[in-house]
């Protein structure tokens, strides 16, 4: 036995002895419970160990996973990753060694956690989330997390948040609510992917996804039932019209039939909603991800079709006209990233029409400076929160507050490359976001988030509040 092991055991024996003596003095009717509670108070709330490793995300690409230990237990978290990463978001640290995982390895980020971050955070109280995150920010010393890596910092930050909730013996969503200064929680409306395109699927559809929002559900459980039933009716419709291969799914689990354009996709979804019997209770949303097919100042809606590239260019004005028509003809209530990441002009013009929620993704990158500009210039009216774009839990809470103070909508979002970590479900509830997208009701890493929301609603019982029709301002 080492000296340290001897001391650890000796101190534990002393604490047990103290607890027993205290129980005797108190003459408690339940000495076992008394001693257990006494021991909990005697053990300090500190981080005792942090260990990281490289795992694979839902695309088979490496990402970072962290085990954070306290005297109370071990808490695990992992970092998601996007396919369409932008120049304004916090930087992922990748190895760049083409001989391993095609350069996508994250062993550098893992080593940074095990060496630098672990040393900096050892002994800190996991309940003090802002201090933990600030310690990593101070250690990084860059504006975009380039030194430590946003993937390394985020995984540690999430693990610490889970540990902090455990120390308080509170649900994770409640701990997040406390950290954000909120007194209530809300179950979000799920923005469920049903058709995939863009960089997330191998069909010719330019836009990245078509989603359904069950705003007419009475609770989250019913919302998922409505979404699942519509999804399966859509599968049958696509199989009838395009054959079984049309039911292949994209990265997010949405079907990827080789449709000619967005209107054809929306027609399919409307038919599925009708078959499911949910007309009027389910609204539509579109994630355009227009940055992916912006060439110069024009947009190529045939960018994925080799024989048609360059034949279907549209100007910003053309795109505004197209979106306006879609909002008129279909129950589209939200359009995400309708223009290029730097096309502030057309985004602002479209938002001013007031036809639907206009969500900033690449435009904002969850970056507080870009959010501030968009608020001041009335460029869009909703934030897409991707926690790995900002890098820590504390900063995520801050940008959500920034958006809500401007009366924006907030949609918490998964990424293309996901793990089975369900953290964003608790985050969406704790922050009262009102909206959360986690892909289709298909694929385990997507359902991990939706299923966690079902558990949270059950746990809250009669206190559970579903955003429903108030999805933009719960």
- Reading the chain (474 residues) residue by residue, the pLDDT tens digits are 454 554 455 555 565 666 667 667 767 777 666 666 655 566 789 999 999 999 999 999 999 999 999 999 999 999 999 865 556 778 999 999 999 999 999 999 999 999 999 999 999 999 999 999 999 999 999 999 999 999 999 999 999 999 999 999 999 999 999 999 988 899 999 999 999 998 888 888 999 999 999 999 999 999 999 999 999 999 999 999 999 988 999 899 999 998 989 999 999 999 999 999 999 999 999 999 999 999 999 999 988 887 766 677 899 999 999 999 999 999 999 999 999 999 999 999 999 999 999 999 999 999 999 999 999 999 999 999 999 999 999 999 999 999 999 999 999 999 989 999 999 999 999 999 999 999 999 999 999 999 999 999 999 999 999 999 999 998
- The reported pLDDT for the residue numbered 43 is 78
* 403 lies in the same domain as 334: yes
**Is residue 314 a contact partner of residue 302, using CB atoms and an 8 Å limit?**
no
CATH number, residue 77 = 3.30.390.10
419 within some domain: yes
Tokens 């071990």 belong to which residue?
74
Question: Is 361 a known ligand-binding residue?
Answer: yes
HSE at residue 296, side-chain half, CA atoms within 13 A, is 6
Per-residue confidence (pLDDT) for residue 3, from 0 to 100: 44
Give yes or no: residues 197 and 289 share one domain: yes
138 in a structural domain: yes
Domain housing 120: 47-169
Residue 89, marked binder? no
Query: Is residue 126 situated within a structural domain?
Result: yes
Specify if 148 maps to a domain: yes
Q: Tell whether 148 and 272 lie within a shared domain.
A: no
Same domain, 380 and 296: yes
Residue 353 lies in a domain: yes
Last residue of a domain, which of 138, 169, 200? 169
Clarify whether residues 162 and 213 are in a common domain.
no
DSSP 338-390: -S-TT-HHHHHHHHHTTSSEEEESTTTTT-HHHHHHHHHHT--SEEEE-HHHH
Q: How far, in Å, CA of 383 to CA of 369, rounded?
A: 13
pLDDT of residue 306: 74
The verdict on 250 and 363 lying in the same domain is: yes
**Based on the domain organization, do 94 and 184 belong to the same domain?**
no
Q: Residue 222: phi, psi to the nearest 5?
A: -65, -35
List active site positions: 252, 386
pLDDT of residue 420: 96
Domain of 332, CATH number, reads 3.20.20.120
pTM of the model: 0.90
Instruction: Report the number of distinct structural domains present in the chain.
Output: 3
287 labelled binding-site residue: yes
- Residue 387 and residue 268 share a domain: yes
Spatial CA neighbour of 469 closest among 215, 235, 103: 215
pLDDT at 165: 98
And the tokens for 22?
């205290």
Q: Does one domain contain both 131 and 220? A: no
Estimate to the nearest angstrom the gap between the alpha carbon of 306 and the chain centroid: 33
State whether 33 and 115 are in the same domain.
no
The arrangement of strands across the sheet holding 313-314 comes to: 294-295, 298-300, 313-314
Decide which of 169, 195, 219 is a domain's last residue.
169
Residue 252 sits in the same domain as residue 118: no
Q: Measuring CA to CA, how many Å separate 158 from each of 176, 353, 411, 457?
A: 11, 38, 19, 21
- For residue 300, being part of any structural domain is answered with yes
426 within some domain: yes
Instruction: Give domain status of residue 174, yes or no.
Output: no
- Pair (243, 208) in one structural domain: yes
């Amino acid at each position: 036995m080492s000296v340290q092991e001897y001391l650890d055991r000796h101190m534990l024996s002393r604490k047990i002895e103290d607890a027993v003596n205290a129980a005797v003095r108190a003459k408690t009717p339940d000495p076992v419970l008394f001693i257990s509670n006494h021991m909990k108070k005697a053990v300090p709330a500190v981080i005792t160990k942090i260990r990281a490793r490289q795992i694979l995300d839902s695309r088979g690409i490496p990402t970072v996973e962290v085990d954070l230990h306290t005297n109370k237990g071990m808490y695990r978290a992992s970092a998601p990753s996007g396919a369409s990463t932008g120049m304004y978001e916090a930087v992922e640290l990748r190895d760049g060694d083409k001989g391993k995982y095609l350069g996508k390895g994250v062993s550098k980020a893992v080593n940074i956690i095990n060496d630098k971050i672990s040393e900096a955070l050892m002994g800190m109280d996991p309940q003090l989330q802002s201090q933990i995150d600030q310690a990593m920010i101070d250690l990084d010393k860059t504006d975009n997390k380039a030194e430590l890596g946003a993937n390394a910092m985020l995984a540690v930050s999430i693990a610490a948040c889970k540990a902090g909730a455990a120390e308080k013996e509170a649900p994770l969503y409640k701990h997040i609510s406390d950290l954000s200064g909120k007194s209530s929680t809300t179950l979000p409306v799920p923005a469920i992917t049903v058709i995939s395109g863009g960089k997330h699927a191998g069909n010719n559809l330019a836009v990245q996804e078509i989603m359904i929002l069950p705003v007419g559900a009475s609770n989250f459980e019913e919302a998922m039932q409505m979404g699942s039933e519509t999804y399966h009716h859509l599968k049958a419709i696509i199989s009838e019209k395009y054959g079984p291969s049309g039911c292949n799914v994209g990265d997010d689990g949405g079907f990827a039939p080789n449709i000619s354009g967005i209107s054809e996709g929306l027609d399919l979804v409307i038919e599925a909603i009708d078959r499911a019997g949910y007309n009027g209770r389910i609204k539509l949303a579109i994630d355009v991800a227009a940055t992916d097919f912006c060439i110069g100042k024009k947009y190529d809606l045939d960018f994925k079709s080799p024989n048609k590239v360059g034949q279907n260019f549209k100007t910003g004005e053309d795109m505004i006209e197209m979106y306006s028509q879609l909002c008129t003809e279909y129950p589209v209530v939200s359009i995400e990233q309708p223009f290029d990441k730097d096309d502030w002009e057309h985004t602002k013009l479209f938002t001013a029409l007031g036809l639907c929620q206009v969500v900033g993704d690449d435009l904002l990158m969850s970056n507080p400076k870009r959010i501030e500009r968009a608020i001041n210039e009335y460029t869009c009216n909703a934030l897409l929160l991707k926690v790995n774009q900002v890098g820590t839990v504390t900063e995520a809470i801050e940008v959500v507050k920034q958006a809500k103070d401007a009366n924006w909508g907030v949609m918490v979002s998964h990424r293309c490359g996901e793990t089975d970590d369900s953290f964003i479900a608790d985050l969406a509830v704790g922050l009262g976001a009102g909206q959360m997208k986690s892909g289709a009701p298909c694929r385990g890493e997507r359902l991990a988030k939706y299923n966690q929301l079902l558990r949270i609603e059950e746990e809250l019982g009669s206190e559970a509040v579903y955003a429903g029709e108030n999805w933009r301002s719960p």
